[in-house]
Every structure is written in structure tokens, then in C-alpha cells.
Amino acid sequence: MKEAPEVFVSAEQQSVSVGERVSVSCNVSGHPQPELHWLNKQNGHTLDSGSGHVRVEDGALVIDEVVPSDGGLYSCMAVSNSGNASRDVAIYTKVSSMTKGTVFGIVMVIFLVVFLVVDATCCYRNRCGLLMSISTKLFGQKVPGLKMLEEGEGTTNREVKLNGLSTPRGSVQNAGVQTFPKEGGGALPDITCDKASLTKHEYVHSLPYTANTLP
């Protein structure tokens, strides 16, 4: 007894983003058992159970990594001696605003920015990192911007650096001592050097009078 073939598909239309995978299953029935075929109505080609990115697997239409040109109308057909039947499936492709390549690019940009910030901080604070290495190879010396920092290294507000020697501000150089004769029995003026007060010991030894000559 013959039975006309029938076709059943899992979906009559599918919307898929570019780069994704889509699969639409198809089942046929009838007597005798009909043959199942998938037809690409865009170009009129029958799809094979091959290894292409558009193929048939166990009666299902499979498209790997969809491209815009894969969109269109596909037909699942049942063919037998008792007749033919078919069911169309529409595949719609859409371009995603955030593809895998875009996400990867954004991640790489963020990584590079963070890396440069960290490396620059390491370069200027600790004189290390990739930027310091590149600068040394290109210029044969450390980053020029670090020169002033290195020259000021080790000094404080209470020290004056002269010709590479750190000298406390309270010390007195012989060339900077000034003496004043005692006049009118008044108090001797303060003796200063470089705007720093002399110590008691330095003050006494800088006077032109000895202890015996003082009244």
C-alpha cells in the first residue's frame, strides 16, 4: 500500500548572526520510505553529506560559521515512487555588532594600555621595565628624564650639595666667615653664613679678641 511522503522540519525560519553555527533537522515519512534531500534554492544545488561549511548531517541542514551569502531559502525534499514532498526553510543572516574579532581587539587594547601604564611607572620610579631597556639600547643611557631625580637623590632640606659632596647647612666654610670688631661695649652682632646661624663653638672662634682682652 503506497503512502504519500510527508516532510517535517524543526524550524521554517532561522535568524543567525554571522560567524555562528545553524542546524535545522528534517524528517520524512511515507511508503515506500522516501529519500531525503536538501536543496539550496539560491543556486539550485543539492547539498551533499560532505565536509563543507554548508552540508547535510543525519538529515539535518548544517551551516558552520555563517557568512552573509549563506542566507536564503533552503528546501527539504522527500522523493519516492509514491510522490514527492518538500518544506522550505528560510535562513536569515545578521551582522553582530560585537563579533569575536572585535572583542579580541578590545581586550588587546586594554591589555596594552595597562601594560604601558605599569611599565612606565616602573621605569620612572624604579628604573626598570621594558621602556628602560629600550631606552638604554637606543640612547646608551638611562631615560633622560631621570637625570635630575638621580642627581637629587640622597639630599634633604637640611643638606646642600656642592660638587657632589653633601654638606650640612649648619656647617661653616672658612671663606664664608665674617668678623666684626667690638664697638661701644654693645652686644656683638650675629655672624651668619649662607643664612644659617653659627653654632656657639663657631661663633667664639670667629671673634678677633681672645678671652683675656674682653672686659
What integer pLDDT is reported at residue 166 of this predicted model?
46
pLDDT in tens, 52-104: 889 999 999 999 999 999 999 999 999 999 899 999 999 999 886 666 677 78
What integer pLDDT is reported at residue 157 of this predicted model?
45
What integer pLDDT is reported at residue 215 of this predicted model?
46
pTM of the model: 0.47
What integer pLDDT is reported at residue 173 of this predicted model?
46
Higher pLDDT, 165 or 50: 50
What per-residue string of b and e applies to 25-49 under the rule 16 or more CB within 10 Å gives b? ebebebeeebebbbbbeeeeeebee
CATH of the structural domain 3-94, one choice from 2.60.40.1120, 3.30.420.40, 2.60.40.10, 3.30.160.20: 2.60.40.10
Tell me how many degrees the CA angle 171-172-174 measures, rounded to the nearest 5. Answer: 150
What integer pLDDT is reported at residue 192 of this predicted model?
45
- Average pLDDT (167-195) is 48
What integer pLDDT is reported at residue 56 of this predicted model?
94
pLDDT in tens, 192-215: 444 455 555 555 555 554 444 444
Higher pLDDT, 117 or 183: 117
Rounded to whole angstroms, how far apart are CA atoms 130 and 207? 60
Contact call for residues 66 and 43 (beta carbons, < 8 A): no
- Give the residue extent of every domain in the chain: 3-94, 100-153, 158-215
Coil, strand or helix at 64: coil
Rounded to whole angstroms, how far apart are CA atoms 98 and 124? 38
- Report which listed range, 95-109, 153-167, 169-183, is most confident: 95-109
pLDDT in tens, 133-159: 777 777 665 545 544 444 444 444 444
- Average pLDDT (37-41) is 95
- Average pLDDT (36-50) is 91
**Mean pLDDT over the full length of the chain:** 74
